[in-house]
Structure 1
Amino acid sequence: MINVIRRLYLNVRYIFFKTVLPFPKIYSNVETLEKLLSSNFSMARFGDGEFHMINQTENLGFQTVDDQLSQRLREILGSNTEGCLICVPYGLHSVQHLNPRGRFFWKQFVVFHYRKYIPYFNFAKPYYDACVTRPYIDWLDKSKSAKFFKQLKQLWLGKRILLVEGQMSRLGVGNDLFGDAGGVDRIITLSQNAFSVYDRLLAETTRLAGKYDLVLVALGPTATVLAYDLSLTGIQALDIGHVDIEYEWFLKKATQKIAIEGKYVNEVAGETAELTSDDQRYKQQIISEIFTS
C-alpha cells in the first residue's frame, strides 16, 4: 500500500510539473540519428550524471565533483554552437516509450531534480536525444532495437575511427559493434576522474584526429566536454556513452541491466565484471595512453 501511495504521489507531482514548468524541445532518437547520418555534426550528450555534475550535487561512480567540469557543462548545455548537437534525454519530454523502470526513473528526475537545471537550458533552441546511443534496455517495445543498432553502425561504416575511452571500457571488444568500420585505434585513459587529465587528453586527441574520419568518445561527463571542444576545431566527435553496453545487453536479450564479462558496467550495483583481457587485436589498437596530467 505504501508503494502504491508513493507512486500515486509521484505521478500527481509529475503531471503538475510537466504542466507548469518550461521544458525544451527535444528531437526523438530517430530524428537525432537521422540528423547525424545526414551531416558531419558532432554530438555532446547529457544524462542524469552530467546534470548532477552541473550543480555538483553528488559524486558519480567514475567522476568526483570538479568546479571546472561543472562550469564547462553549464556552458555547453546553454550553448548554440553550429556543428555540435547538444543532447539531453528524451525522457524529459515524454516517458511513454519507456518500460516501467525507465518511466519511474525519469518521472522522479523531473519531480525531484529538473527544476535545479532550468536556468542552464537555452529554450530558444531545440535539443536532441541523448538516448540515441541507448535504444534497448529501458525501452518498452524492443522490437525495433535491431534495426536501430544497424542504422547506428552506419555512422562509422567504412570509416577510420579513433576511440577515446577509459581503460576498463573496451568498446566493441567481443562483439561486432565496430566490425564494419574502416579501422579502429584507441586512446586509453582513466576510467575514473578522467577530467583530471583533460588538457593532455584534448591535446593528444587533437594531435591524432587528423588521421581519422571520426572520433568516438566514451568517458562520462568528460566525453561531453571533449566532443564539444573537438567540434569547435572542426573535428567530428561523437560522445557515444554506453552504446557498447547497450549493444551487449541487446545481443544477450537481457531484460535488466547485467554485468558484462571483461567490461566495467557502472550501472550494475554490487557486481564487478572480470576486467582482464587477452584480446591481442584490442591491445594492438591502443596507440596512446594518458593516465597522468
Structure 2
Amino acid sequence: MISIIVFSKGRPMQLHAYLESLLKFSDAQENQITILYCETEGIRYDKVMKAFPKIHWTIEKKFENNLKEAVSDAGEYIMFGCDDVVFTHTFSLQKAQTYLQQHEQVFGFSMRLGANITPQPVNLSTDDEIFEWEWKCTEQHYNYPWELDCTLYRKTDIIKMINEEENPIKNPNFFEAMVTPEQRKKRIPRTHMACNKEQGCAIVITVNRVQDTHQNGFDDSMLTDIYSLDKQYNDEDNTLDIEKIAQMDNHVVHVGAEYFILRKSAKGYSKKRVYRRKIKEFGAKLVKFPKRVYRHIESKKYLTGGYEQKLSILNTDETLELLEKEQFSFLRYGDGEIAIMQGKSIPFQEYNADLAQRLREMLVTKDSRIKIGIPYYYMHPLNSINDFTKKFARALPAQRRFLCKNCSKDVVYIDTALTQVYQTYQEYDFDNYYKRMQNLLRDKDVTVVCGEGVLDRLEHKALAVCHSVEYIYAPSMNAYTQYDTILRQIKDTDRNRLVCVVLGPTAKVLVYDLAQAGYQAWDMGHYFKDYDAYLRKRPRTGEEIAKFYQPD
C-alpha cells in the first residue's frame, strides 16, 4: 500500500492546489493521504478540509511525534508532499512502487524530475519509460536524493533514517535537512534514484515562506503573503488554476510567481506585476552597488588587521588562563546581542527596549567582579578558525562598527568564543582545552539556568564532573519577559553555588545582576552542546555549524 503524507502551514489555497492536482494527474486516492497541518492564527483550513473529506487530517501538536505516528500508520511505501507543490503531468504511483520493488538499488522514485530538468546524468535504466541514475552525480537536482516534495520511498528506509537522527526534528525543514550532503553516503545505502523518463510531473511554486528556521528562496512579486491568500481562497472563493499552470513549460523544479495563476482575476496578481517587480529588483541592485563596494573595502581592512588595535580583547587561550587564575563572573556578547541593541529581534528573543538598554550599559562596565566577552575574531583575522567562521567574520562590518563605537577602550574584554571552541576553530588543542574547562567545573556545586529539555538530548554530560547539579528552568524563547521571576528563583539558592546560565541574551543580564548580589555566575552559552559535539566528533560543515546555533 502507498501512503502520502503532506505537510502544510498557513497555506490552505496552495494545499487545495496540491490535492486537486495530485488527484487529477495521478492514481492517488483521498484515503491514501494524511495531512499534517500546523495551525496559524488567522488562517482557515475548514474549507479545504470540506473539499477533501476522505483525507486524514491531523493538527500538528509536536511535529516529531506527529511525524513518527504518521509514518508508523503508513503503508509500505510513502510519498511526502508540501503544500507549495503543484502536479502538472500524469504519473502513476503504482508504477513507481513496482519499479522500487523490482530494483533494490533505487532509493526513491521522483515525480519532479524528467527530461525537462537538465542537465541529466547518465541513464542506467533499460526500461524505455524510466530514467535511473546514480545520485552521487554532480548534476543539480539529480544529486539530491532525500526531499519532501514528491518522491516515493520505502517505509523501512524512512524509519531507519528517523531512528538514526540525533537532533530534534522540529518541522519539515529539519526533517529534510537531517540528511546533510556529507552524510548521504553513510545514511542512504541505496545508490540509485529513478523518475519518469519523458517529463517531470511537478513544480514547486516558491512565492511565500512559512518556516522561520531554514531560509529558502522565495518570490514576493505578488500579494502572496499567507493572509492575502487566505482571504482570496476563503472569502473570494479563488483557487489556483492547475490546468493553466500545467500548460506552462518548466526546466527547473522551483519556479516563481509567474506560475502562480488564479482562476479568478484579482488585483495584485498578474504577470505584468511580476515583470515590474523584476525591473524594480534590478534597480535596487544598482542602488546597493556602493554598499557592496564598501563591504569589500571593509572586509579587506579586517583581513589586513585594520581593527586589531581598536579594542583590547584577550584571545581564547588568554581568557581561559585568566579564568583559571582569578574568580569572577563573565558574560559574553555575540551577533545576537548586537542585533538586540540595534533594535532587532532574533530567533529566540524578541526585541525588548529594556533588555537592549541593559546590554548597552553592561558592555562598558568596569566592575572588577565581572568580565565582558566580545568575539576576538571579530577584530582579529585568524587562520585557525574554520571556514564557516571565517566567512561569517568577513561579513560583519556593521557589528565591528557597532563594537568600536559602543565598547570602551579602557576595558579589557575576554573572548566570547571561550564557550564554543569546537564550533569556532579548525585547528586547536581541543583535548587540552576541554580538560581545563572541565577542571573548572570539577567538584563544584552548580545551579544551571536553562530552557527545559535543552540539555536532555546531549550524549556527553559536561556537568557529570560537578559535585552536585540543580536546575532552574526558564522559557527557551523570549526568556526576558519572565526576567524578575527567573532572578528571584536563582536568588533563593545558596550563594556558594556556581550559577551557569544558558539563556541567550537574558543570560547576560542575569549574570550581571547575580554578580552584584554576591553570586559567581557564568554565561555558558553553547558550551555544553559544544562539549558534546566534540566528543561525538560531529562534522563541522557550514550546514552543521548553522544547525548547531539554531534555537533548541
TM-score range (shorter-chain normalised) is 0.7 to 0.9
Relative to structure 1, the CA distance from residue 167 to residue 94 in structure 2 (aligned partners, 3 Å threshold; closer, same or farther) is same
Letter in 1 for 2:515: S
1:182 aligns with 2:467: yes
Relative to structure 1, the CA distance from residue 266 to residue 251 in structure 2 (aligned partners, 3 Å threshold; closer, same or farther) is closer
Taking the aligned partners of 1:59 and 1:132, their CA distance within structure 2 comes to 25
> Partner residue of 1:280?
none
Q: How does 1:49-198 map to 2 (within 5 A)?
A: 49-56=336-343, 58-96=344-382, 97-109=384-396, 111-142=397-428, 144-170=429-455, 173-198=458-483
C-alpha contact 2:448 2:499 (8 A) present in aligned 1: yes
C-alpha contact 2:301 2:307 (8 A) present in aligned 1: yes
Q: For residue 455 of structure 2, give the secondary structure of its aligned residue in structure 1.
A: coil
Identity, % of aligned positions = 27
> Partner residue of 2:330?
43
Runs (5+) with no aligned partner, structure 1: 1-5, 273-293
Relative to structure 1, the CA distance from residue 170 to residue 121 in structure 2 (aligned partners, 3 Å threshold; closer, same or farther) is same
C-alpha contact 2:422 2:530 (8 A) present in aligned 1: yes
Q: For residue 231 of structure 1, give the secondary structure of its aligned residue in structure 2.
A: helix
Q: How does 1:6-21 map to 2 (within 5 A)?
A: 12-16=297-301, 19=306
Structure 1 residue ranges (4+ consecutive) displaced by more than 6 angstroms after TM superposition: 6-9, 257-260
Letter in 2 for 1:112: A
Relative to structure 1, the CA distance from residue 112 to residue 166 in structure 2 (aligned partners, 3 Å threshold; closer, same or farther) is same
Over the aligned positions, Cα root-mean-square deviation in angstroms equals 2.6
Q: For residue 122 of structure 1, give the secondary structure of its aligned residue in structure 2.
A: coil
C-alpha contact 1:168 1:191 (8 A) present in aligned 2: no
Q: For residue 114 of structure 1, give the secondary structure of its aligned residue in structure 2.
A: helix
Which deviations, in whole Å up to 9, do the C-alpha atoms of 1:145-187 show, x marking residues without a partner? 1210110111211111000111131268532311110010000
1:216 aligns with 2:503: no
Taking the aligned partners of 2:380 and 2:439, their CA distance within structure 1 comes to 27
Which deviations, in whole Å up to 9, do the C-alpha atoms of 1:59-87 show, x marking residues without a partner? 11110000000000000001111111101
- Shift in Å, 1:92: 1.9
C-alpha contact 2:449 2:500 (8 A) present in aligned 1: yes
1:248 aligns with 2:535: no
Larger relative CO (CA 8 A, sep 6+): 1 or 2?
1
Taking the aligned partners of 2:448 and 2:506, their CA distance within structure 1 comes to 14
Relative to structure 1, the CA distance from residue 256 to residue 140 in structure 2 (aligned partners, 3 Å threshold; closer, same or farther) is closer
Taking the aligned partners of 1:236 and 1:243, their CA distance within structure 2 comes to 17
Higher-Rg structure is 2
Relative to structure 1, the CA distance from residue 187 to residue 20 in structure 2 (aligned partners, 3 Å threshold; closer, same or farther) is closer
Relative to structure 1, the CA distance from residue 38 to residue 213 in structure 2 (aligned partners, 3 Å threshold; closer, same or farther) is farther
Q: For residue 492 of structure 2, give the secondary structure of its aligned residue in structure 1.
A: helix
Relative to structure 1, the CA distance from residue 8 to residue 91 in structure 2 (aligned partners, 3 Å threshold; closer, same or farther) is farther
More off after superposition, 13-22 vs 155-164: 13-22
- Shift in Å, 1:234: 1.6
Q: How does 1:17-28 map to 2 (within 5 A)?
A: 19=306, 23-28=310-315
1:238 aligns with 2:527: no
Taking the aligned partners of 2:374 and 2:457, their CA distance within structure 1 comes to 24
Taking the aligned partners of 1:19 and 1:174, their CA distance within structure 2 comes to 42
Number of aligned residue pairs: give it: 257
C-alpha contact 2:458 2:532 (8 A) present in aligned 1: no
Taking the aligned partners of 2:533 and 2:440, their CA distance within structure 1 comes to 20
C-alpha contact 1:44 1:87 (8 A) present in aligned 2: yes
Q: For residue 178 of structure 1, give the secondary structure of its aligned residue in structure 2.
A: helix
C-alpha contact 1:11 1:107 (8 A) present in aligned 2: no
C-alpha contact 1:42 1:231 (8 A) present in aligned 2: yes
C-alpha contact 2:335 2:399 (8 A) present in aligned 1: no
Taking the aligned partners of 2:515 and 2:452, their CA distance within structure 1 comes to 24
C-alpha contact 2:308 2:380 (8 A) present in aligned 1: no
- Shift in Å, 1:188: 0.3
1:267 aligns with 2:549: yes
Which deviations, in whole Å up to 9, do the C-alpha atoms of 1:126-149 show, x marking residues without a partner? 10001101111221204x112101
- Shift in Å, 1:16: 2.7
Taking the aligned partners of 1:171 and 1:41, their CA distance within structure 2 comes to 28
C-alpha contact 2:501 2:523 (8 A) present in aligned 1: yes
Q: For residue 164 of structure 1, give the secondary structure of its aligned residue in structure 2.
A: strand
- Shift in Å, 1:23: 2.3
TM-score of the aligned structures, taking structure 1 as reference length = 0.80
C-alpha contact 1:61 1:266 (8 A) present in aligned 2: no
Relative to structure 1, the CA distance from residue 20 to residue 28 in structure 2 (aligned partners, 3 Å threshold; closer, same or farther) is closer
